[in-house]
Structure 1
Amino acid sequence: MIPAAPPLRPEQAWFTEARFGLFVHFGLYSAAARHEWVMSFEKQTAEQYARYAEVFDPDLFDARALVRAAKDAGMKYVVLTTKHHDGFALWDTAVSDWSIARTRGRDLVAELAEAVRAEGLHLGLYHSLLDWHHPDYTIDANHPRRDDADAHAQNEGRDMARYREFLHAQVRELLTGYGPVDYVFFDFTDPDDRGGWPGKHAEDWDAERLLAMVRELQPQAVVNDRLGLPGDLVTPEQYQPDEPMRDDAGELVVWEACQTLNGSWGYDRDNTRLKDPDLLVRMLVDTVSKGGNLLLNVGPDGRGAIPARDTAALAALGEWTRLHGRSITGAGPADADLAAAVAPGLPPGVVLTQRGDRLYLHLFAWPFGHVHLRGLADRVRYVQLLNDGSELRTSRTDPDQKAWNTNPGGQPAGTLTLHLPTVRPDVAVPVIELFLDPAA
């Protein structure tokens, strides 16, 4: 039994309607091609890391092609990293020379915003609260300089108040220079003390003022939960929740699973631990069945192209969503009473979603012969396989009928039995669409 979370404000309702989005991690680390945290993992100095800015030339970054690939995959929004933890800006910021505008004369945020709107999708902007390049950002457990012999002494000359003003100035540019922004993804508050270093708290960002700025300048925008303050949604990362997400009071919340294709967000050339398309489809279905969104990441390479392996994954997802998208877009958890009624009789590997008067059975494993749906005999007016729109025969189980020879039996009164073909449909996850009778 999976209830639904409280709805967002009407102007934000697109988010839970969309259910599926594309995350794009792109920056100087894409040239290094060994994880977006390469500056921290390898403890590079700002001077060492600056060599990537000298050579980073995203000549193959094609915003229109990227957005079309997302749209063809069934995604409804795109979230771009405007600045990751290395501080390098992908837009024409007026408060820093550490940007693609200064090195290559481009504004990738503008390019993506134009492409997203041209394709009718929603625009999301990711912005890191961390900045390992800025001289006033204090060293902490994540900072590349954390193990320097004089690391604590270096902090004596750093001033987070000055950094906060810089941070707020850059966020203001993003919220005022690119038209309507539908989603603001901040990343990230880390309050735990580790390795002799204090954590970073909401106060370090003046998070209340930052959130107020978003509400003032882009009141329709959905904001995530990583400012150290409650946002409009929560963002579990790199794991699939085993049930709908709840807040500390136990109340259901809007949530979004943030997932990579291979465990790295930025381009990681030698990381070939890719999730196969069947797993990605099952993750998408699982997420929506629990009332969540799936934000799936690609990391363009050092020239800005989507790697062939990522393109293949998006294409495979697109083939499935082309046929089954209506079980995802605009869908959510099945009605709690209906789900509770049918659950005892379902075979293993059936995941439910619902969209208005349509109930969807996603069959992770293909059963032989029949699916028995208890309590639905008088509530269903038509049943079909969604991939090809072919009707499935149904029958009502006679509760007095005992199982004998070729006659199934033993199902309680009110059970609707679906008669399946022996051969499983040739799709990643077959879906059965039930047309419910609103009057029943």
Structure 2
Amino acid sequence: MKVVCVGGGPGSLYLAILLKLQGRGRDITVYEKNHAGSTYGWGVTYWPDFLTRLAAHDEVTARAIEEHSVRWSDGVAHVRDRITTHHGDEGFAIGRHRLLEILAKRADSLGVDVRFGRPAPQLHAELEGDVIVAGDGARSTLRDQHAQHFGTRTGLGHNRFIWLGTTRVFHSFTFAFVETGHGWVWCYAYGFDGTHSTCIVECSPETWAGLGLDVRERADALKLLESLFADVLRGHPLIGRTDTDGPSQWQQFRTVTNRVWSRGNLVLLGDAAHTTHYSIGAGTTLAMQDAMALARALREPDPLPAALVRYERERRRELLPLQSAARHSANWYENLTRYIHLEPHQMFTLLGQRHSPLLPHVPPQLYYRVDRAVEHTQALRSMKRWLGPRVARMLQNK
């Protein structure tokens, strides 16, 4: 079997590894238009159960990723001048650059032909392989050639956000909410390599424009954000990307969905197939889980169309609760003023519950009181877990 992966992100590289582990004789090529070592982004997050899944598929890769990751077990929220800490939320982070380096090295050791700095042929028809994998991101060129067949739909989120780095090393997953004369602005920050942290800044479009972030040059915008988050940054700078032009690289989150994920021998993977709001920190892990499912499907002796249908069906089923959680999480931040004036410990509790489909429909203080009561009663906890998905489906069908 000859497989060609377009796009050298974590999903494509991990798929190439898994396919080679199934049989060294397989011919696997990965095209990545950027040169090795050049990547956007800072750190990516994942959770303990993901390490378990990685180890079940390839222990070598799992050990390397764990070795180069940092771990946190607390969540911290800064609201104005008050700080709230929640213990026991274990998570991991690894630099995106390091993750790609690990995956590319492992792929190369298995005989995968990884072609950095080599854009793939532009047209699907020009790619020669039994399976062509479109792993080239939310703006996938391969997918868009057949957008009508795939039923591709794209929507933009309401808020503006920007991915930044900082030399302040955060040892807990940290949230900071700052009130300005034009509304609230907030950040999510977490360390990933012992020397740097990711710092994602978000705000409403009204706040973004009111602060002049829509027109400020990059350096000026970073200085303003450094002053707003001075207490959290403790004198450390914010660092922007250097791989794109423009004032300050602000974005609206791009939600991508597709009616189907395959066309003939072409199949979608990762963000080309689906995107999940960054506030649940799952984009990279979901792409690599796509790779696990696609590799399993291609291992079976079934005809290719049946294998690709099985892959799509499995992943849609697994993604459904996560995508619902991501939508509710994004909605929570887009309606921050509904929660921000609660006591900090109450707001932090509801921040942790932002994935719930019930939260937007219950007064926040009432939800908090009920949630605290539920946590002390096993029967009520079970009812809450049972009720949540059913309410979500009911609201979606209205």
TM-score by length of 1: 0.27
Larger Rg: 1 or 2?
Answer: 1
If each structure's strand is expressed as a fraction of its own residues, which one has the higher value? 2
If each structure's helix is expressed as a fraction of its own residues, which one has the higher value? 2
